[in-house]
Amino acid sequence: MFGGRYAQVTAVRRKTGEIEFFEVKKQGQPGLKWLSKIPLVRGIVALVLASASGAKHLQFASDMFERDHDEEAESADETVQENQSSSKWGMILGVAMVGILSLLIGKMVFTALPAFLASILFDRFVHSMFLQSLIEGAIKTILLLAYLWGISFTPLIKRVFQYHGAEHKVITAFERGEELTVTNVQKHSTLHYRCGSSFIILSIIVGVILYSFFTYHSVWDRILIRLALIPLVIGLSYELLRMTNAVKDIPILAWLGYPGLWLQKLTTKEPTDDQVEVAIAAFNRMRELDAQAEARLANGVQRTTPAFN
Ligand SMILES: [Zn+2]
């Protein structure tokens, strides 16, 4: 999936070999437009929108996968397909909500569990607030790595991570001004500096620093404070992500983005040539749609927000 200024495109390879696109044009939601300009708030808006659209694009991919499987079992039933397309928009709204809900629940579990474990295991021995916060961050990191490592063995997630690697390769090739052919794209690394993975690491670091300013009196106290701070942690991490993107060419400051690159060693995998081909197709289609939109709005609004992909 690629997100441009005006359009998001997901491409999937069908069983027949052809590549199919799922395109969502970004509408200028007036309510969100001014929210997206306020520091701290814009990070929350971006994350919620990314979860909603991410879920929609994943749903499309798995629909295509299922349809291919059904077609394999017996030839496609026209009436079933018609029903599917008529309920598509209702489905998409529901899927977006599921995306946002799973973000919320995931965020709460990943916030509460490390706070709980750090309290149970270390409250008796460690009395420095900062050290406690650091231990909590370390537990969170271990849980995250174990989780990512664990799910990377399932065939579906493995493919998702391969496509993630393919996306990064395509972007790198494009940024270097190379022609987007499979050979050109494949020779690049699956790691890319501007990636949503960096956001996760940054939010752990922001948490460590922020939490050490808040005293608590019990485990539950601690967990509640952490949960209440989630919006602030997201907002600050996003601002930090924008900053690391802005300073990536300054030698020492570029280190700020390195933890995110290390995490990508787990969230990306080497794609096959076939997957790279699909990624190139999605990227080209996104560029096409963007160019069309740009032509329509001769003086298009500039967007410089980092993408979560
Ligand atoms: Zn990425």
**pLDDT higher than 60, residue 20:** yes
In tens, the pLDDT along 158-195 reads 999 999 999 999 999 999 999 999 999 999 999 998 88
* CA pair distance 177, 70, nearest whole angstrom: 41
The amino acid present at 218, given as its one-letter code, is: S
C-alpha 168 to ligand 1 mean position (Å): 6
Query: pTM to 2 decimals?
Result: 0.81
pLDDT at 199: 86
| Buried/exposed 160-171: b ≥16 CB within 10 Å, e otherwise | bbbbbbbbbbbb
C-alpha 264 to ligand 1 mean position (Å): 7
Residues above pLDDT 70, as percent of the chain = 87
Q: Name residue 22's beta-bridge partners.
A: 10
C-alpha 308 to ligand 1 mean position (Å): 7
C-alpha 169 to ligand 1 mean position (Å): 10
pLDDT at 137: 97
Residue 136, exposed/middle/buried by CB under 10 A (0-12, 13-18, 19+)? buried
**pLDDT higher than 60, residue 292:** yes
C-alpha 87 to ligand 1 mean position (Å): 31
pLDDT at 259: 84
C-alpha 286 to ligand 1 mean position (Å): 17
Q: Which residue has the tokens 């929210």?
A: 35
Once rounded to an integer, what is the mean pLDDT over residues 264-290? 95
C-alpha 197 to ligand 1 mean position (Å): 6
* CA pair distance 199, 242, nearest whole angstrom: 10
* CA pair distance 87, 68, nearest whole angstrom: 19
C-alpha 148 to ligand 1 mean position (Å): 14
C-alpha 218 to ligand 1 mean position (Å): 38
pLDDT at 78: 46
C-alpha 44 to ligand 1 mean position (Å): 18
Q: Report yes or no: 117 and 223 within 8 Å, Cβ to Cβ.
A: no
The amino acid present at 276, given as its one-letter code, is: V
- Pull the structure tokens for residue 214: 């808040």
In tens, the pLDDT along 68-86 reads 877 666 544 444 444 455 4
C-alpha 90 to ligand 1 mean position (Å): 29
Residue 25, φ and ψ in degrees, nearest 5: -85, 140
C-alpha 79 to ligand 1 mean position (Å): 38
Once rounded to an integer, what is the mean pLDDT over residues 86-102? 72
- Pull the structure tokens for residue 121: 């295991």
C-alpha 297 to ligand 1 mean position (Å): 29
Would you mind telling me the total number of residues written for the chain in this entry? 309
CB proximity list for 303: less than 8 A, separation 6 or greater: 5
